[in-house]
Structure 1
Amino acid sequence: MVCHNRSISLPASSHPFVLKAEEELHKLKAQVGSRSLTCEIMLDTIKAVGHVYECINDLLCMPSNQNGLSHMQQRRLVDLELEESIKLLDMCSTSRDNLNVIKYHVRDLESAIRRGESEIIKSGVLFYNQLVKKANKDVKKQVTRKSEAMAGDVPAIGLLLSETRDITTSLLHCVFSILLKQTESEKTGMWPLVSGLVQKRRIVCKKEIQEDILDVVEALEIGLESLFRQMIQCRVSLLNICCL
């Protein structure tokens, strides 16, 4: 009787998709670790991370790679990534939900600015600060969760998944750090300016500041929603491999 064994065929580090993802990750590491990270760069970075997940998903959907990862020797890698993906999705979901809460508060504050309700605006600014700080703490708690590392010889796609996970974790941490930085800046922070204008009764003249913040929060929320869907797709592809 002839015994047919499945061969392990996983993407090498020289595979075009792997090289493309590695190039993006190299750029992302520099961006996320930069002290000059702004909201605009943050939005571009979220999109770039999403592109990496798309590239990884393309690799996961290749029949030869599915065959290799479904082999017993690589199933531990798949199981680990499925476990870690839940943590990352929870973090992204929490960040997205917090941005949603902040967005609706900003809209309420915008209405108060239009009506010229000074006391409500003052308390609203303080509450906004509290919301951002709470959101930042929520992410920090989840960042401190230790991720299990793969032992032994890890294939290229495993390294990509691990590095992308680390980048995504750092990115989610930076989202509220940037909003917090804008909030607490004494010279360039938008909210301190709003408070000053309220005291001078020049609220209406600076309505654009409020709208700028709303635009940023909404853009971040949309960006994280897209990133969440791309991470979900990668998880689905990993689950499909488990069914082979």
Structure 2
Amino acid sequence: MACHNRHVSFPASSLPLVLKAEEELHKLKALVGSGSLTCEIILDAIKAVGYVYECIDDLLCMPSNQNGLSHMQQRRWVDLELEGSIKLLDMCSTSRDNLNDIKYHVRDLGSAIRRGLDTIKSRVLFYNQLVKKANKDVKKQVARKSEAMAGDVPAVGLLLSETRDITTSLLHCAFSILLKQAESEKTGMWPVVSGLLQKRRIVCKKEIQEDVLDVVEDLEIGLENLFRQLIRCRVSLLNICCL
């Protein structure tokens, strides 16, 4: 969300939190722009994003900031931010649901391999379809643009805007990587499973987990923690509206 505007500075008491948030955002921006993201790096980045939202929530709960943001001239910004927070919550919720479907199917595939079912390849193809759907859903959410803020915008608004942009970029990258891995001729699910079957190895559930399931579960946990932090920030914004 582009912000061509003036910002209203924080009170001096807020500066330690602001500096922490800005330092983490600077690292995250450099990470996203590096083009060398992996699922493991994204998992760590999502934790860092959660820390930034924790700092922002602390800022929103400070009485000095609440008093300033509760003035009528700032209410337009609060309304826009509440709208933006709903879109990001929807994105996280949809991503969690898709990850849960993927996780369930990977477990089902592991059971099918152990039982030697003939439908293994079709199950692998269905797994690929689930990852494609998850990637498509997150791309749709990224394409949804919030109304740009204009005029005097509180500095916390700029922090929230930057953090939201980074969060959507990280989620987009995460599902893009999962899709690339699923479709890869060397590291995709079917080449891995096919190779193991050709060697007549007994494939246990743990071996499938090591390739896909652990990353999916860790990403799901990361999104769950991030979702809770987003809810706290939204509640803090709503509390400001009630002042």
TM over 0.5: yes
The 8 Å contact of residues 84 and 146 in structure 2, kept in 1 or not, is answered as yes
4+ residue runs over 3 A deviation = 8-14, 188-191, 205-209
* Structure 1, unpaired ranges of 5+: 1-7
Please tell me the residue identity of whatever aligns with 2:80: L
Please tell me the residue identity of whatever aligns with 1:91: M
Please tell me the residue identity of whatever aligns with 1:217: V
Distance 1:24 1:49 in 2: 8
SS of residue in 1 equivalent to 2:145? coil
Distance 2:42 2:51 in 1: 14
Task: Report the Cα offset of residue 172 of structure 1.
Answer: 1.5
SS of residue in 2 equivalent to 1:176? helix
Task: Report the Cα offset of residue 152 of structure 1.
Answer: 1.9
Distance 1:11 1:176 in 2: 39
Greater relative contact order, per chain length (Cα 8 Å cut-off, separation 6+) = 2
Distance 2:12 2:193 in 1: 54
The 8 Å contact of residues 102 and 132 in structure 1, kept in 2 or not, is answered as yes
Normalised TM-score (structure 2): 0.90
- 1:210 and 2:211 aligned: no
* Structure 2, unpaired ranges of 5+: 1-7
Partner of 1:242: 241
Partner of 1:4: none
Partner of 1:162: 161
The 8 Å contact of residues 56 and 156 in structure 2, kept in 1 or not, is answered as yes
Task: Report the Cα offset of residue 187 of structure 1.
Answer: 2.7
Task: Report the Cα offset of residue 47 of structure 1.
Answer: 0.5
- 1:219 and 2:218 aligned: yes
Q: How many residues are matched?
A: 235
Distance 1:230 1:14 in 2: 19
Aligned counterparts, 1:93-242, within 5 A: 93-117=93-117, 119-198=118-197, 200=198, 202-205=200-203, 208-212=206-210, 213-242=212-241
My pick for the range that moved more, 8-17 or 168-177, is 8-17
Partner of 2:54: 54
Distance 1:140 1:239 in 2: 28
The 8 Å contact of residues 110 and 210 in structure 1, kept in 2 or not, is answered as yes
Please tell me the residue identity of whatever aligns with 1:149: A
Please tell me the residue identity of whatever aligns with 2:56: I
Please tell me the residue identity of whatever aligns with 1:186: E
String of CA shifts for 1:24-50, please: whole Å, max 9, x gaps. 011111222333211111110110000
Partner of 1:79: 79
Q: State the identity as a percent.
A: 83
Task: Report the Cα offset of residue 158 of structure 1.
Answer: 1.0
Task: Report the Cα offset of residue 142 of structure 1.
Answer: 1.3
Distance 1:105 1:205 in 2: 16
Distance 2:233 2:58 in 1: 9
Q: Is the alpha carbon distance of 1:188 and 1:71 closer, same or farther for their aligned partners in structure 2, counting shifts above 3 Å?
A: same
Who wins on radius of gyration, i.e. which is larger? 1
My pick for the range that moved more, 18-27 or 33-42, is 33-42
String of CA shifts for 1:74-110, please: whole Å, max 9, x gaps. 1111111001101110010000000001111111011
Distance 1:39 1:13 in 2: 37
The 8 Å contact of residues 105 and 128 in structure 1, kept in 2 or not, is answered as yes
String of CA shifts for 1:154-174, please: whole Å, max 9, x gaps. 222111011011011111212
The 8 Å contact of residues 11 and 18 in structure 1, kept in 2 or not, is answered as no
Distance 2:120 2:34 in 1: 33
